[in-house]
A and B are shown apart, each in its own frame.
Chain A
């Protein structure tokens, strides 16, 4: 991803996930994205930020949830630190097992992001965290 020009940090608190949606939507509209794409973006970024929140809460981490955005030539690139979930990296055989409601939410969230943004990527960092990135097209 290009050097991010925009970033947002929010506390590890579900009440602020809406702030992530507002931030992402505002940027997308600023760069001229179509409204349908903005709606899809809000859904995907919400899923990713929620994953980050859940990961940090599980670790007992208080470091902020970070969302980074870089504007490319024809795409707006998003990265959510710790926005991935281990269920995303799990094999399909594992996902056939009985899952809890929380796991179901993670899997549904993954499928939503993948359906909306097929270029979804997961990046394992040296410290083990799973960052999530995807991009939306900019209308010319």
Chain B
């Protein structure tokens, strides 16, 4: 709950700037609970209103478990790295 508002604001900012295909890099995120999940779901709703997409970078067992327990691993495309989404530079 402490850092989720910043993520929400960042997603809103990106959508306001016309960026509707977002990648959220969760590497380095040590813990995520329902507050963070709700922000991601809210972000997904925002981009989908513009036919966009929101994908995740995540290899953390703890966060992958939370996504799995809530079924959100079936909602968000989840990748192991940015290159896996965008291709190697």
Contacts and interface: CB of A to CB of B under 8 A. Distances in A.
A111 B67 CA distance: 12
B34 A109 contact: yes
Interface size class of A (residues with CB under 8 A): 20 to 34
A46 B33 contact: yes
Interface string A10-34: 0000110110010000000000000
Nearest to B71: A111
Contacts of B33: 43, 46-47, 50, 109, 112
B34 A105 contact: yes
Given A104-B41, A112-B34, A15 B2 contact: yes
Contacts of A108: 34, 37-38, 70
Nearest to B69: A115
Interface in B1-24: 1-2
Interface in A87-140: 101-102, 104-106, 108-109, 111-112, 115-116
A18 B70 CA distance: 21
A42 interface: yes
A86 to B, nearest CB: 16
B30 to A, nearest CB: 9
Interface string B37-57: 111011000000000000000
Given A108-B70, A116-B69, A53 B34 contact: no
Contact of B39 (A18, A50, A101): A101
Interface of A: 14-15, 17-18, 21, 39, 42-43, 46-47, 50, 53, 101-102, 104-106, 108-109, 111-112, 115-116
The 3 closest A-B pairs by CB, nearest first: A105-B38, A109-B34, A108-B34
20 contacts: A14-B1, A18-B31, A39-B65, A42-B31, A43-B33, A43-B66, A46-B31, A50-B33, A101-B38, A101-B41, A104-B41, A105-B35, A105-B38, A108-B37, A109-B34, A111-B69, A112-B33, A112-B66, A112-B69, A116-B69
